[in-house]
A and B are shown apart, each in its own frame.
Chain A
Amino acid sequence: MGCIEAVKDSKGGNLLMSDLDNYWKRKLAHQGLSRRRVLGGAVLGGVGVGSLALVGCGDDDDDEASDATPDTGGTVAPTPSGSAVKGGTARFSSANNTWDTFDVDRSRFTPFAVVMGYTNESVVHYKSFEKGELEGGLASKWEQPDASTLNITLRDGATWHNKPPVNGRAATSEDIVAFIKRNKEGKTQDGVDDVNFYRKGEYANVASVSAPDAKTVNVKFTKPDPFFLGTLASGYAKIQAPEAVKAFEKDYANLKADLIIGTGAYSLTEFKAEGSLTFTKHDKYPQGQNLDKIQYFPLFTDNAALQAAFEQKQIDAYGPRTKQVLDELLAKYAGKITNYPAFAANPMAGTYYGGTPPWNNANLIGAIFRTIDRRQLIQQMFQGLAALAGNIPPTQAAFGITEKELITYPGYLEDRAKELAEAKQMWSAGGGPALGDITVDIPDIWEGAYSGVGALITNSMLKANLGNNFNVKLEPYSTITGKLIQQKYGNGANNIWYGWISDVTKLEPSIDLYNSYNSASPQFQQFGVKIQKVDDTTSKLLTELDLEKRKTMTKEVEIELIKAYGAGIPYNMITIGNTLVHNYYHPTENQPFVTAHQFASRAYIDPKDPTYQGRPA
Chain B
Amino acid sequence: MGTYILRRALINIPVIWMVATVVFFATSVLPGDYVAQRIAAQNPIPDNPELAQQQLDAVREDLGLDDPVGVRYLQYMGNLLQGDFGTSFETRENAIKGFMDGFPYTLQLGIMTLIVATMTAIPIGILSAIRQDTISDYVLRVFSIIALAAPNFWVATMLLLYVIRGIPLPFTDAEIGWTIDLTSQALIWEDPITSLKLFAIPAIAGGIAAGAGVMRLLRSQMLEVLRADYIRTAWAKGMRERSVVVRHALKNAMIPVLTVLGLQIAGLIGGSVVFEFLFNIPGVGNRILRSITARDVPVVQAFILVIATFVVFVNLAVDVAYSIVDPRIRFS
Report A's interface with B, CB cutoff 8 A: 39-41, 91, 93, 96, 98-100, 108-110, 195-196, 198, 201, 253-255, 272-274, 297-302, 304-309, 311-312, 314-315, 351, 443-445, 476-482, 484-485, 499-502, 515-516, 522-523, 525-526, 569, 616
Distance, CA A501 to CA B88, complexed state (A): 28
Q: Decide if B332 is an interface residue (CB 8 Å cutoff).
A: no
Q: Is the CB of B182 within 8 A of A40?
A: no
Instruction: Contacts A195-B55, A481-B46, A485-B49 given; indicate if A300 touches B91 (C-beta within 8 A).
Output: no
B31-53 CB contacts (< 8 Å) to partner A: 31-33, 35-53
Q: Is the CB of B277 within 8 A of A301?
A: yes
Chain B residue nearest to A516 (CB atoms) is B45
3 cross-chain pairs, A with B, having the tightest CB-CB distances, nearest first:
A478-B36, A476-B32, A273-B91
Chain B residue nearest to A255 (CB atoms) is B92
Q: Is the CB of A309 within 8 A of B182?
A: yes
- Chain A proximity of B262: nearest CB distance (Å): 29
- Chain B proximity of A277: nearest CB distance (Å): 13
B58 proximity list for chain A (CB < 8 A): 195-196
Q: Is the CB of B56 within 8 A of A478?
A: yes
- Chain A proximity of B275: nearest CB distance (Å): 10
Chain A residue nearest to B58 (CB atoms) is A195
Spot the interface stretch: B144-152, B205-213, B221-229, B278-286.
Answer: B278-286
- Chain A proximity of B290: nearest CB distance (Å): 7
Q: Is the CB of B38 within 8 A of A301?
A: no
* Contact pick for A502, options B45, B48, B54, B92, CB 8 Å: B45
Q: Decide if B66 is an interface residue (CB 8 Å cutoff).
A: no
- Chain A proximity of B193: nearest CB distance (Å): 13
Q: Is the CB of A312 within 8 A of B91?
A: no
Q: Decide if B27 is an interface residue (CB 8 Å cutoff).
A: no
Distance, CA A516 to CA B92, complexed state (A): 35
10 example contacts (A-B, Cβ-Cβ < 8 A) are as follows A99-B90, A274-B287, A301-B276, A302-B160, A302-B279, A304-B278, A476-B37, A478-B32, A479-B36, A522-B50
Distance, CA A616 to CA B286, complexed state (A): 26
Q: Decide if B136 is an interface residue (CB 8 Å cutoff).
A: no
Distance, CA A91 to CA B276, complexed state (A): 22
A41 proximity list for chain B (CB < 8 A): 41-42
* Contact pick for B52, options A480, A485, A501, CB 8 Å: A485
Q: Is the CB of A523 within 8 A of B91?
A: no
Q: Is the CB of B181 within 8 A of A314?
A: yes
B33 proximity list for chain A (CB < 8 A): 478
A311 proximity list for chain B (CB < 8 A): 165
Q: Is the CB of A502 within 8 A of B44?
A: yes
Instruction: Contacts A253-B92, A502-B45 given; indicate if A308 touches B40 (C-beta within 8 A).
Output: no
- Chain A proximity of B107: nearest CB distance (Å): 19
Instruction: Contacts A302-B277, A308-B182 given; indicate if A254 touches B92 (C-beta within 8 A).
Output: yes
- Chain A proximity of B198: nearest CB distance (Å): 10
A253 proximity list for chain B (CB < 8 A): 62, 92
- Chain B proximity of A315: nearest CB distance (Å): 7
Q: Decide if B172 is an interface residue (CB 8 Å cutoff).
A: no
B53 proximity list for chain A (CB < 8 A): 482, 485
* Contact pick for B48, options A109, A302, A523, A569, CB 8 Å: A523
Q: Decide if B3 is an interface residue (CB 8 Å cutoff).
A: no
A196 proximity list for chain B (CB < 8 A): 55, 58
- Total B residues in contact with A, Cβ cutoff 8 Å: 54
Q: Is the CB of A481 within 8 A of B183?
A: no
Q: Is the CB of B280 within 8 A of A305?
A: yes
Q: Decide if B179 is an interface residue (CB 8 Å cutoff).
A: yes
Report B's interface with A, CB cutoff 8 A: 31-33, 35-56, 58-59, 62, 88, 90-93, 157, 160-161, 164-165, 179, 181-183, 185, 276-280, 282, 286-287, 289-290, 294
New A-B pairs, 11, CB < 8 Å, besides A273-B91, A476-B41 = A98-B39, A195-B55, A272-B91, A302-B157, A305-B280, A308-B182, A477-B41, A478-B33, A478-B35, A500-B44, A522-B49
Q: Is the CB of B286 within 8 A of A301?
A: yes
Q: Is the CB of A314 within 8 A of B46?
A: no
* Contact pick for A40, options B38, B49, B55, B92, CB 8 Å: B38
Distance, CA A298 to CA B50, complexed state (A): 35
B289 proximity list for chain A (CB < 8 A): 301
Q: Is the CB of B160 within 8 A of A308?
A: yes
Distance, CA A515 to CA B48, complexed state (A): 8
Q: Is the CB of B49 within 8 A of A300?
A: no
Distance, CA A94 to CA B290, complexed state (A): 14
- Chain B proximity of A566: nearest CB distance (Å): 12
Chain B residue nearest to A111 (CB atoms) is B42
Q: Is the CB of A523 within 8 A of B46?
A: yes
A516 proximity list for chain B (CB < 8 A): 45
A298 proximity list for chain B (CB < 8 A): 185, 280, 282
Distance, CA A250 to CA B47, complexed state (A): 26
A297 proximity list for chain B (CB < 8 A): 183
Distance, CA A298 to CA B41, complexed state (A): 21
Q: Is the CB of B45 within 8 A of A351?
A: yes
Interface centre among B31, B47, B179, B294 (most CB of A within 10 A): B47
Q: Is the CB of A98 within 8 A of B278?
A: no
- Chain A proximity of B225: nearest CB distance (Å): 43
Distance, CA A306 to CA B290, complexed state (A): 17
Q: Is the CB of B45 within 8 A of A526?
A: yes
Distance, CA A96 to CA B42, complexed state (A): 13
Q: Is the CB of B42 within 8 A of A108?
A: yes
- Chain B proximity of A78: nearest CB distance (Å): 24
Instruction: Contacts A301-B277, A477-B36, A477-B41 given; indicate if A523 touches B49 (C-beta within 8 A).
Output: yes
A301 proximity list for chain B (CB < 8 A): 276-278, 280, 286, 289-290
Distance, CA A532 to CA B109, complexed state (A): 66
Instruction: Contacts A274-B282, A305-B280, A502-B44 given; indicate if A195 touches B38 (C-beta within 8 A).
Output: no
Q: Is the CB of B182 within 8 A of A481?
A: no
Q: Is the CB of B44 within 8 A of A484?
A: yes
Distance, CA A499 to CA B45, complexed state (A): 11
Chain B residue nearest to A448 (CB atoms) is B293
Distance, CA A610 to CA B93, complexed state (A): 44
Q: Is the CB of B48 within 8 A of A522?
A: yes
- Chain A proximity of B185: nearest CB distance (Å): 8
B160 proximity list for chain A (CB < 8 A): 302, 304-305, 308
- Chain A proximity of B140: nearest CB distance (Å): 31
B54 proximity list for chain A (CB < 8 A): 195
* Contact pick for B41, options A272, A274, A306, A443, CB 8 Å: A443
Distance, CA A196 to CA B51, complexed state (A): 9
A482 proximity list for chain B (CB < 8 A): 53
A351 proximity list for chain B (CB < 8 A): 45
A108 proximity list for chain B (CB < 8 A): 39, 42-43
* Contact pick for B44, options A195, A198, A299, A501, CB 8 Å: A501
Q: Is the CB of A499 within 8 A of B44?
A: yes
Distance, CA A302 to CA B282, complexed state (A): 12
- Chain B proximity of A105: nearest CB distance (Å): 14
Distance, CA A252 to CA B179, complexed state (A): 40
Q: Is the CB of A201 within 8 A of B55?
A: no
Distance, CA A616 to CA B35, complexed state (A): 40
* Contact pick for A305, options B49, B52, B279, B290, CB 8 Å: B279
- Chain B proximity of A411: nearest CB distance (Å): 19
Chain B residue nearest to A273 (CB atoms) is B91
* Contact pick for B164, options A308, A315, A485, CB 8 Å: A308
Q: Is the CB of B183 within 8 A of A309?
A: yes
Distance, CA A307 to CA B162, complexed state (A): 12
B59 proximity list for chain A (CB < 8 A): 100
B62 proximity list for chain A (CB < 8 A): 253
